[in-house]
Amino acid sequence: MSEDTEVDMKEVELSEVDLEKQPMTGGGPAAGGENNGGANLMVPEDEVTFTGLSKEELMKVAGTPGWVRTRWVLLVLFWLVWVGMLAGAIVIIVRAPRCKPIPEMNWWNEGPLYQISDLLAFSDGLKGVEAKLGEIKQLKVKGLVLGPLHTVQTDNPNALLLDQIDPTQGKKEDLTAVLEKAHKKGMSVVLDMTPNYHGNAPWFSGDVGDVLEKVKAAAAHWLDLGVDGVKLSGLSVASSSADWPKLQAAIQGNRTEDTKKRVLMGAAEHLSAANVSQLVSSSGVDLLLSDLLSTNNGGVERMKAMDTLNSQHRNLAWGLGATQQDQLSKQALTQGLIRLYQLLLFTMPGTPVFTYGDEIGLQAGQGSESPKMVWDIQKEPADGAPVNETAEAERKERVDIRKWFISLSDLRGKERSLLHGDYYSLYSSASSLSFLRVWDQSSRYITAVNWGGAAEKLKIKLAPTEGLELPETAKVELSTDEALKAEDTVSLDEITLSPGGAVLLQFPYKA
């Protein structure tokens, strides 16, 4: 670049600076002779800065009587507030209702048991059971009761081989696979070891002691394999033997806090509630399944049975047909009644026991034949495919019943009042009953069912009970009655249930 060019560029830059200093008035001077945009700044000669008080000055001020009194007042106020808050917390703790200690709960008290008596009808033997464990888990059951699986000829004790699986059911390796997979899914497995399960006399007609000895040896074998308990029908006969304590010790012995308890489960038929209570005490079983619901068809009798057995409910199992390994539908002849008895079993004090298919309302087989389990009920017809309206309606009904079953199972597992709460009878008649479940400060639940053929008014009334009374209204939690919708508020003075109607009501705890 030449020197002339550099000079010209400097002149341009100087010209731009001069233009910036010119007033913005179209080229004339600004009014008052001042340049537009200019600012007159007053710069103080001596800038004053605040540096605060020195340490010596602060100490001098802090020692004055005024500040000394102020500090003491603030200190006293602080401690008064602190002591007041502490006293208030103590009062709240002392006056608050004390939480009731949770009772001892075993795994068989924490949810329903699912009974698979005929593995071939259920899903082609032990391998089929293993394949269906995922679907069973969705039902939120806590345990499976399998079999009997052992080999025996009807009424022939000499053919009894309790430690061998009937080849038509599967192999020992198949049972091991079922145990491992069930345990991973949080389900226990109980083996039904009723000796003469095809015959009329579960313990044959000879010496019960000899058979008990075989059961004891076989129980030890299967427990070592990983089975979580043993079920025996005909309990009143077996427990009357002098050798019964030996079998008890083999199954219930060596229990520690670090080991999972094995359940000794019995079943008994045609006993009164008083005799069932006596059998629970004398036999020492962990769980007794009776047929009281099946043999007592009246609400008054069923309520008396619950009243009698209430104090032993952690040792009781309830079913409708389960004692005979029948489907619930054998006595609950309509879909509405199936839902009703599902609600009743899930909310009664004790452990509910269901036979496979009860969760979908599977119809019982003809005679002694076990019904074939129905799978794939969730599968809807393909688009454009011909639809059998009757079959499709049946499929949808099964889906709805299964959803109802799962909702009840889920609720029972979450709500302490239903899981292990106290029981109070409220009302009973020839074809209906109602009771209350309560646990400490948890939500309370009222079950009301009417299995009769006509509508009925239930007069809900609680006998005088210290610290407990019914509210005027309650909320509908679940219902099969079209007149009582979920979330509705109903008066407890008088509840009308339609034929086959069932309702579960909920109301909160109030201090």
Q: What's the confidence (pLDDT) of residue 365?
A: 79
Handedness of CA 284, 236, 150, 141 (dihedral sign): negative
455 with 364, same domain: the answer is no
Alpha helix locations (H) across 96-191? 119-123, 126-131, 133-137, 172-184
Q: What's the confidence (pLDDT) of residue 387?
A: 87
Where is the domain boundary, 401, 420, 439? Answer: 420
For residues 151 and 171, the answer to whether their CB atoms sit within 8 Å is no
For β-strands 156-165 and 150-153, DSSP reports them as: antiparallel
Q: What's the confidence (pLDDT) of residue 59?
A: 72
Q: What's the confidence (pLDDT) of residue 68?
A: 79
Encoded tokens for 377: 């009920």
Alpha helix locations (H) across 143-286? 172-184, 208-225, 235-238, 244-252, 273-283
Q: What's the confidence (pLDDT) of residue 40?
A: 53
398 with 445, same domain: the answer is no
358 with 441, same domain: the answer is no
341 with 448, same domain: the answer is no
167 with 311, same domain: the answer is yes
Q: What's the confidence (pLDDT) of residue 207?
A: 87
In a domain, 352, yes or no: yes
Could you give the strand order of the β-sheet that contains 502-507, starting from the edge strand earlier in sequence?
422-428, 432-438, 444-450, 502-507, 473-479, 489-491
Handedness of CA 272, 353, 371, 225 (dihedral sign): negative
Q: What's the confidence (pLDDT) of residue 6?
A: 47
Distances (CA, A) of 4 to 10, 11, 12, 13, 105: 10, 11, 13, 15, 105
Question: In 3D, which of 339, 345, 336, 331 has the Cα closest to residue 359?
Answer: 339
pLDDT < 70: residue spans in the chain = 1-53, 95-97
326 with 465, same domain: the answer is no
353 with 475, same domain: the answer is no
Encoded tokens for 429: 């008649």
Question: In 3D, which of 306, 394, 301, 300 has the Cα closest to residue 345?
Answer: 306
Q: What's the confidence (pLDDT) of residue 44?
A: 54
In a domain, 35, yes or no: no
Q: Which residue's entry shows tokens 């009194």?
A: 69
Question: Domain range spanning residue 406?
Answer: 110-381+388-420
169 with 256, same domain: the answer is yes
Q: How far apart are CA 479 and CA 69, in angstroms?
A: 70
Q: How many domains does the chain have?
A: 2
156 with 296, same domain: the answer is yes
Q: What's the confidence (pLDDT) of residue 251?
A: 94
CB-neighbour burial class of residue 306 (10 A; exposed 0-12, middle 13-18, buried 19+): buried
